[in-house]
Amino acid sequence: MKKIEIITRPYKLDEIKEALTQVGVKGMTVSEVKGFGRQKGHKEVYRGAEYQVDFMPKVKIEIVVDESLVKEVVKTTQEIARTGKVGDGKIFILPVDEVIRIRTGEQGKEAI
């Protein structure tokens, strides 16, 4: 099993969720996060004063899937999240040793 963390633009969330559901993802956790990388923020004007916004709003999607779905999830996410501009985001793939469903005690693939 693998945990896939996707950090991307907030307005891409609904499209990604729908597409991943179609490829077999049964659940996900979504968090609103802030961060910066190469995008390095931008300047905004509020009531006539200019200020620097260092952290850009992003969404973090966390999914645990069987290894057989990893390539399809990554490919689908890349196709939908890519705009070709700085700030499209990142995908992290991490190993998962065990999953346990608290309610039933199911373990492994059955618990996903």
The CATH number of whichever domain residue 26 belongs to comes to 3.30.70.120
pLDDT at position 47: 74
Reported confidence tier of residue 64, pLDDT bands at 50, 70, 90: very high
Mean pLDDT score, 72-81:
97
| Spatial CA neighbour of 22 closest among 75, 90, 101 | 75
- The whole domain housing 18 covers 2-111
pLDDT at position 10: 96
SS3 105: coil
User: Is 0.75 topped by the overall pTM?
Assistant: yes
pLDDT at position 86: 84
- 39-60: burial string, b at 16+ Cβ within 10 Å, e else: eeeeeeeeeeeeeeeeebebbb
Lowest pLDDT segment from 25-34, 44-53, 59-68: 44-53
pLDDT at position 41: 62
What domain count does the chain have? 1
The whole-angstrom separation of Cα 74 and Cα 64 is: 12
| Helix (H), strand (E) at residue 16 | helix 13-22
The whole-angstrom separation of Cα 86 and Cα 70 is: 24
pLDDT at position 39: 62
Mean pLDDT score, 61-89:
94
